[in-house]
């Protein structure tokens, strides 16, 4: 296996996130964005292939892969991790797991990431990742909230003093470019375990 270091200067990193309803993919070399895609979680493998082909990059050239580990959609997270594991086994590249909340926050410095958790709950960062109702989120006046959860619960958050950018703002999308940049800090030893924060509906039904 060829030794690769995703934190090395000039490293080539493929990153993607499928934890929300919008999947994002990006290819970066040494922090420079070579290409990006925004589509659906089920298309992430096709997006990755199109990115590599479009940039004239052979998969064997990759130094690392960064994948969003959630929190978010259980199905979406599993899709992303399955693709990441396949690339790790097939290409022998190190994989770094990056929090989707962290990547969302990195794309909107100073803002609070809020991801829709369904069942009238949200995932956010309050001294660490949490799952709670939007009404339970304690906000300081003027706090900017971003993410699909911020869009869905805009009225509740604004009533609590938050500011929510327009729904079409790219600040609401966990851009994979930030997963790649964060992966350079995390390194290949970062956890690639899914960050669910609560049990899947099927598991809850069996209790």
CA pair distance 122, 106, nearest whole angstrom: 19
So what's the pLDDT on residue 188? 53
pLDDT tens-digit readout, 73-82: 999 999 999 9
pLDDT tens-digit readout, 18-46: 999 999 999 999 889 999 999 999 999 99
What pairs with residue 116 in β-bridges? 122
Q: Are strands 95-98 and 64-68 parallel, antiparallel or unpaired?
A: parallel
So what's the pLDDT on residue 200? 59
CA pair distance 150, 13, nearest whole angstrom: 29
pTM of the model: 0.91
- Domains 12-100+175-199 and 108-170 agree in fold: yes
Residues 6+ apart with CB under 8 A from 67: 15, 16, 17, 80, 81, 83, 84, 95, 96, 97, 98, 179, 192
Half-sphere exposure of 102 (CA within 13 A, CB side): 20
Q: How far is CA 107 from CA 62, 125, 134, 152, in A?
A: 24, 15, 21, 19
CATH class, range 108-170: alpha beta
CA pair distance 102, 109, nearest whole angstrom: 10
- Give CA 150 to chain center in angstroms: 16
CA pair distance 130, 164, nearest whole angstrom: 20
CATH class, range 12-100+175-199: alpha beta
User: What are the sequence ranges of the domains in the chain?
Assistant: 12-100+175-199, 108-170
The kind and range of the H/E element at 64 are: strand 64-68
Residues 6+ apart with CB under 8 A from 138: 126
pLDDT tens by residue, the chain, 207 residues: 234 665 565 789 999 999 999 999 999 998 899 999 999 999 999 999 999 999 999 999 999 999 999 999 999 999 999 999 999 999 999 999 999 999 999 999 999 999 999 999 999 999 999 999 999 999 999 999 999 999 999 999 999 999 999 999 999 999 999 999 998 766 554 568 999 998 755 454 445
Q: Under a CB-based contact definition with an 8 Å cutoff, are residues 103 and 182 in contact? A: yes
């Amino acid at each position: 296996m060829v030794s690769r270091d995703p934190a090395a200067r000039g490293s080539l990193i493929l990153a993607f996130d499928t934890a929300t309803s919008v999947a994002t993919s990006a290819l970066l070399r040494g922090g420079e964005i070579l290409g990006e895609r925004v589509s659906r979680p089920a298309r992430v493998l096709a997006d990755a292939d199109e990115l590599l082909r479009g940039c004239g990059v052979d998969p064997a050239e990759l130094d690392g892969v960064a994948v969003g580990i959630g929190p978010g959609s259980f199905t979406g997270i599993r899709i992303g991790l399955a693709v990441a594991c396949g690339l790790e086994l097939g290409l022998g590249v190190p994989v770094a797991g990056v929090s989707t909340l962290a990547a969302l926050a990195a794309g909107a410095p100073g803002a609070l990431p809020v991801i829709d958790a369904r069942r009238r709950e949200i995932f956010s960062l309050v001294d660490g990742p949490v799952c709670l109702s939007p009404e339970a989120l304690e906000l300081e006046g003027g706090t900017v909230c971003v993410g699909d959860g911020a869009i869905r619960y805009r009225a509740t958050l604004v009533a609590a003093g938050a500011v929510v950018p327009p729904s079409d703002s790219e600040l609401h999308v966990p851009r994979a470019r930030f997963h790649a940049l964060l992966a350079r800090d995390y390194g290949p030893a970062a956890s690639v375990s899914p960050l669910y924060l609560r049990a899947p509906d099927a598991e809850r039904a069996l209790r």
